[in-house]
Amino acid sequence: MDSTDVGVLNEGDRACLDELGEYLVASDSWRRFSIWLLHKHFEPGAGEVFAETVVSAPRGTQTAPVARRTAVDLSATSLRFDPEVRDGLGVVGMEFADVADFGSTATMTADDEPVLAGIADRLGARGKTERFGVRLIRDPLGLSDDEVLLETCDIAHRTLHCSVGARGATANAVETTWQWRPNPGASGPAVHRYCLNQCTLDSGNNHFITGHTNYPDS
């Protein structure tokens, strides 16, 4: 995005997403997990983690670094897989939220490991481990099917803002998070990809103050 092409999905990306979507629906995990484009807006400092807070008015969320030592009530909401780990899943927590903001969604536990392992295996087989990660599906803002979260970032304050917008109303937006749903009885694909988050870009393809970079390299 902006001067990079991190938001552009190539044929291999789309094939990987299709396979992941079919797997999530087949494993009945499509309500629990979404897939997100691995990107970073700014770097955390030593001993920091990214924490999301819910804003009630206007509806939205803010994600910013906090000291890990103070994050005692936080649980992971977004993760990636470390391709260098050979023993176990190599799960790396990327974003966290207060358990009070999980609502009816259970935090991730060992019961999720089989599905996460299936996702990790498919990412690894396609060489996309550093391209896509996993997000726990929560809805603290009560979004309707006609709404989507729109991301902008404030580099000066190291804060990612997500506001609620009308689906399809924002020009020049880039999808960053996807959920899949069964599509029974349709003549097309058996699963339907559904965007949950978009990045908003201005006319110069800038993501508010700056854009995304690939993970792990900038």
What is d(CA 79, CA 92) in angstroms, rounded to the nearest whole number? 5
pLDDT at 170 over 90: no
Largest CA distance in the chain: 52
Task: DSSP for 95-126, please give it.
Answer: EEEEGGG-TTPPPP-GGGHHHHHHHHHHHHHT
Domain range spanning residue 188?
Answer: 11-214
Judge contact between 217 and 7, C-beta under 8 A: no
| Domain-embedded: residue 45 | yes
Report how far apart, in Å, the C-alpha atoms of 101 and of each of 67, 106, 109, 138 are. 19, 11, 17, 9
| Domain-embedded: residue 76 | yes
What is d(CA 198, CA 168) in angstroms, rounded to the nearest whole number? 10
pLDDT at 95 over 90: yes
Pairing between strand 48-55 and 91-98?
parallel
| Domain-embedded: residue 145 | yes
Q: Could you read off the pLDDT of 32-75 as tens digits, one per residue?
A: 999 999 987 788 889 999 999 999 889 999 999 999 888 778 99
pLDDT band at 3 (very low <50, low <70, confident <90, very high): very low
Residue 79 in tokens: 């993760």
| Contacts made by residues 80-86, CB under 8 angstroms, sequence distance 24+ | 80/38, 80/129, 80/130, 80/133, 80/134, 80/215, 81/119, 81/120, 81/123, 81/124, 81/129, 81/133, 83/124, 83/129, 83/130
pLDDT band at 87 (very low <50, low <70, confident <90, very high): confident
| Domain-embedded: residue 162 | yes
pLDDT at 214 over 70: no
Helix axes 113-125, 11-26, angle to 10 degrees: 160
| Domain-embedded: residue 69 | yes
| Domain-embedded: residue 58 | yes
| Domain-embedded: residue 138 | yes
Q: State the total domains in the chain.
A: 1
| Domain-embedded: residue 111 | yes
pLDDT at 217 over 70: no
| Helix, strand, coil share (%) of the chain residues, nearest 5 | 15, 40, 45
